[in-house]
A and B are shown apart, each in its own frame.
Chain A
Amino acid sequence: AQTVTQSQPEMSVQEAETVTLSCTYDTSESDYYLFWYKQPPSRQMILVIRQEAYKQQNATENRFSVNFQKAAKSFSLKISDSQLGDAAMYFCAYKYSGGGADGLTFGKGTHLIIQP
């Protein structure tokens, strides 16, 4: 079975600075998707970024980018120019792409604090 590990329960960063959230995963599959979801205090789950395992190019979405290292099974999220609205729980998630409507496997989450 696949597992997702987020080793940083909490991270703190000054507004306008850059922060990197770590995620490692374990799977025996070669085809899969990786995601970062944001969960603010409202508890809404918001997709931040998605990466297909077959793509070597790292995904980017505005101030958010990932460092995907397939051999190392590592998938970190970099947030540039941090803003107060970025404060939230961030969950890394895995989904096997070879099956049907497989569910997501989440890590335990990283609580990101933005210092003004």
Chain B
Amino acid sequence: AAGVIQSPRHLIKEKRETATLKCYPIPRHDTVYWYQQGPGQDPQFLISFYEKMQSDKGSIPDRFSAQQFSDYHSELNMSSLELGDSALYFCASSFGSHNEQFFGPGTRLTVL
């Protein structure tokens, strides 16, 4: 069965640079969630989209923005990167906003 696709899988950036993470949900899924998992931490919810509209917002820094496009894929844009942004970034998708979230493999971001 098709799964959530995230790209790139690994990304290395310098401080103050910009990064864009992409998420392609499971076909027919209309809801996308973004989570950040620091080393040895639990995942922290950042933001979600349902039918291309922002739905819920968690602990997302102002330096980060995201959107969901007409084909339901989503992008997380991160600017002025800091060392503390180094983490595993998960995208999850669901069919409808109340069904199970299926997680992608994550993008490992390293900020040097």
**Interfacial residues, chain A to chain B (CB-CB below 8 A):** 33, 35, 37, 42-47, 50, 91, 97, 99-109
Contact = CB atoms under 8 A, between A and B. Distances in A.
Interface string B13-50: 00000000000000000010101010001111111111
A76 to B, nearest CB: 18
Contacts, number: 64
A55 to B, nearest CB: 14
Interface of B: 31, 33, 35, 37, 41-50, 55-56, 58, 88, 90, 92, 94, 97-98, 100-103, 105-106
Given A47-B102, A50-B100, A101 B33 contact: yes
Closest 4 CB pairs of A and B: A103-B45, A101-B55, A45-B103, A101-B97
Contacts of B106: 43-44
